[in-house]
Amino acid sequence: MEKIVIDYTNMMSESIGVHGINDDDFISVKGDIERAVKRITDKQLMFRRLPYENIDKIVEYGKYIRSNFKNFLVLGIGGSALGPKAIFKSTCGRYHNEYKIDKVPLPKFYFEDNVDPDRIYDLINTIDLENTCINIISKSGKTIETLSQMMIFIDALQKLKPDSWTDNLVFTTDKDNSVLLDIGKKYGIKMFYIPQEIGGRYSIFTPVGILTAAVCGCDIHSMLKGARDMNELCNNEDYTKNPAFMYAVLQYISMKRGKNISIMMPYTDSLKFVTDWFSQLWAESLGKKYDIDGNVVNAGQTPVRALGSVDQHSQLQLYMEGPFDKVVTLIKVDKHRYKMPIPTIFEDSSELKFLCNSSLNKLINSELEAIIYALTQNGRPNIVINLPSLDEYYLGQMFIMLEIGTAFAGYMLNINPFDQPGVEHGKISTYALMGKEGFEERRKSLEITNKIKFLV
Amino acid sequence: MEKIVIDYTNMMSESIGVHGINDDDFISVKGDIERAVKRITDKQLMFRRLPYENIDKIVEYGKYIRSNFKNFLVLGIGGSALGPKAIFKSTCGRYHNEYKIDKVPLPKFYFEDNVDPDRIYDLINTIDLENTCINIISKSGKTIETLSQMMIFIDALQKLKPDSWTDNLVFTTDKDNSVLLDIGKKYGIKMFYIPQEIGGRYSIFTPVGILTAAVCGCDIHSMLKGARDMNELCNNEDYTKNPAFMYAVLQYISMKRGKNISIMMPYTDSLKFVTDWFSQLWAESLGKKYDIDGNVVNAGQTPVRALGSVDQHSQLQLYMEGPFDKVVTLIKVDKHRYKMPIPTIFEDSSELKFLCNSSLNKLINSELEAIIYALTQNGRPNIVINLPSLDEYYLGQMFIMLEIGTAFAGYMLNINPFDQPGVEHGKISTYALMGKEGFEERRKSLEITNKIKFLV
């Protein structure tokens, strides 16, 4: 199996000196690794079984959407948006919606994951709603942002096509208990289901991600094959031969040594939204107040989304000279989709001559090599995830490798990587402020917190 | 003067307990504040004088571009892209390029700040180059990314319009010393100049930002008026009455207390790219190995770009329960541009009833209030920057307030907030790998670093 490779040479003290990891560090976390291995190989871990499911019906419906609609609009937030967006952007690129329609016979794509009134106003006044398929995603069916958007778009559809508004809708939700389920059944709306055991951030291989993949022309079978192959490789209990485990172990040791910031920086725009997806996975899975024994631990490492080479001109100064509180994960793609030559022009200038007859392909990977070298020379820990190409097969590998790695890191930290108790507090307050029944008490306590204000 | 307000109530121990700031903290940094006040009020600080400059010629040329081109493409990276993009996005919104052309009589906008071959390939095969004005921005004229892009686009233009290719170009660069200057003079290309003393990240009020502002229909005079009014307010040497100083002091005390992460989270998509712009400003200005006396300090605080309410479903769990290593700056806009009502529909559902007849405007700001409350209840330091509206006047205030605040924080840290010595190392290695003359030695040392590799 050809596979993505993790190069952790520059995490080691041999390369970077005092801020590097050595054998003693690995030995010191042996017990934590053993515990994590036991848990992650549990056959009940549903998210690892997803790439083996039959997806024919979703793929078929994706084809139907593709040939019957000009636009595909996803309404969802968090795990309901980040996976689909990562798949779409890594498959179709940045300028997809602006291609002349005859060049790419695919719908235009829109992912609405916010309730900014200006953004929704702009969209609803821009999009040709009659020819838009709207995929509304919320597992619980309680996501206030998605429900509000849904109300706005269904209302507009009903006015536009009173007799056939349901034709433009697909719901993706829980099979047993969800407002979307109720509405979907009542009006006969097309529905796909998210398995009960799967939380939003681990849902990329459920209909949440797969339907978008099917509409955008991604080679899903190859992606899932990649995920399966990597999943099987990650059954290896020896962490030194298991990329997901190794990634987690390196970060875990780093956290213990005060590196509370984890940067992910792909050297290609196509993977920019993969870092967004991963940031949720890492932050929400590991950021926990209690460990599973009930001790207060305030665990977690803050993910930072970066992009090469753009952020060399923004964040690199800090990464090179600031505090030693970071691990940088660089993502390298050996072969981009296209060759983009730099022409021979203005060759009389010494600033330009050496660029003549080169290529952006060579340039972007030279920049990456240069930064690896620079970080390493400055004693800064860095990991390289190497993809042979942007092929879906490797993307599938990367998605599940990062999922397994995240869960593994959670088990090493002895926390639950699958819950998110800390976001309830804000949800309840939002209900209270919006006047939902049953939240009157919170509303009162919100009202009396306006004590003295410090303003300038 | 109506102005933006910084609410730092929930930075104080009165609100958040042990992780809050109290009077002793302010007293302990009195000397640092005094030193910083002296330096920041230096009349030679050119970036504070920019909003007073005459911009008539740039505005006029912006109008010319607007009425003669269908597209406006900025080639630039770092400070040459982040300012223009922030102004454009906060003025024109997310879906500008997809509006029907008759609705908005403005060019489409493109900001190319990367050398990803796939992205450039996509763009050059999408854009109508003949009707595109290309603004090439590099102060030094040595930015390898921008120069490569320039070579590709000028070559394409020359093939398309051999006799008039220069008509589509505007250069923004240094007045005295730059390759762009040489080429511009030789071929008679329209040029604007960046004052010598101004570094990229402080250049938003130079032609770098102003030309984009002029093309995209931003009310520049109002923006500069806002900047001037705020600049004058920030002459107040009492930090308790000076929002820029206070912002810096709060972050400085936080850094000293181990909060090495600074999150900026606006509750509107319009300001998403302002956080990108600010991240460069904060990271590159403060991330320094040496203080000005030559001591190794490894100063800096890592900026994290977030967006409300989106990141409530991605990062909030970590902010609520993870380590106490963060300060969260929330940006609130009292009045968005449009009112987006939520219609009365599906009112028989208890999950939806309370949303009927409300609005996204109320919802997004309720979410913000809820999160302020939730963070505060959990003892998490948070600051609110409050804008009365998205009016350019307040944007201008915010830009310069954050610039002055950043420089002030740099002076408190006793470092130079205007240089970026740490990025040179990578540049030299890139030159070496690309085969530029004079960098042979670096090339050799790069080649011999391939020692043992740790791979998985």
Cβ(A411)–Cβ(A39) under 8 Å?
yes
A56 to chain B nearest CA, in Å?
30
Phi, psi (degrees; rounded to nearest 5) at A74 = -100, 125
- Report the alpha-carbon distance of residue A105 to residue B251 in Å, rounded: 51
pLDDT of residue A219: 97
Q: Is the N-terminal amide bond of A262 cis, ω within 30° of 0?
A: no
Which residue type is seen at B72? F
Q: Burial level of A350, CB count in 10 A (0-12/13-18/19+)?
A: exposed
Nearest chain A residue (CA) to B149: A342
CB contact under 8 A, A12 and B352: no
A422 close to B (CB below 8 A): yes
Per-residue pLDDT of chain A (456 residues; tens, 9 = 90+): 799 999 999 999 999 999 999 999 999 999 999 999 999 988 778 999 999 999 999 999 999 999 999 999 999 999 999 999 999 999 998 899 988 655 558 999 999 999 999 999 999 999 999 999 999 999 999 999 999 999 999 999 999 999 999 999 999 999 998 999 999 999 999 999 999 999 999 999 999 999 999 999 999 999 999 999 999 999 999 999 999 999 999 999 999 999 999 999 999 999 999 999 999 999 999 999 999 999 999 999 999 999 999 999 999 999 999 999 999 999 999 999 999 999 999 999 988 999 999 999 999 999 999 999 999 999 999 999 999 999 999 999 999 999 999 999 999 999 999 999 999 999 999 999 999 999 999 999 888 766 678 999
A420 to chain B nearest CA, in Å?
6
Helix (H, G, I), strand (E, B), or coil: what is residue B315? coil
**Interface confidence: ipTM more than 0.90:** yes
Structure tokens at B293: 């006396």
Q: Is the N-terminal amide bond of B309 cis, ω within 30° of 0?
A: yes
Low-confidence residues of chain B, pLDDT below 70?
Answer: 100-104, 449-451
Beta bridge partners of B385: B6, B331
Is B284 among the residues known to form the active site?
yes
Cβ(A7)–Cβ(A386) under 8 Å?
yes
Question: What's the distance, Cα to Cα, between the start and end of chain B in Å?
Answer: 61
Cβ(A409)–Cβ(A251) under 8 Å?
yes
Is B427 among the residues known to form the active site?
yes
Summarised one tens digit per residue, pLDDT across range B89-129 is 999 988 999 886 555 589 999 999 999 999 999 999 999 99
Cβ(A276)–Cβ(A82) under 8 Å?
yes
CA distances in angstroms from A92 to A128, A141, A337, B97, B189, listed in the order given: 21, 29, 11, 18, 35
pLDDT of residue A102: 54
CB contact under 8 A, B456 and A307: no
What is the DSSP code (8-state) at residue A386?
E
pLDDT of residue B344: 97
Q: What is the enclosing helix (H) or strand (E) of B336?
A: none
pLDDT of residue A43: 76
CB contact under 8 A, B433 and A366: yes
What is the DSSP code (8-state) at residue B342?
P
Q: Which residues of A touch B115 (CB under 8 A)?
A: 309, 360, 363-364, 367
Instruction: Give just the sign of the alpha carbon dihedral B325, B315, B369, A140.
Output: negative
CA distances in angstroms from B196 to B173, B278, B422, listed in the order given: 10, 22, 21
Sequence-distant (6+) residues with CB within 8 A of A443 are A432, A433, A435
CB contact under 8 A, A343 and B155: yes
Cβ(A104)–Cβ(A285) under 8 Å?
no
Helix (H, G, I), strand (E, B), or coil: what is residue A296? strand
Sequence-distant (6+) residues with CB within 8 A of A207 are A58, A172, A192, A193, A194
Beta bridge partners of B153: none
Neighbours of B211 (CB within 10 A): 27
B12 close to A (CB below 8 A): yes
pTM of model > 0.95: yes
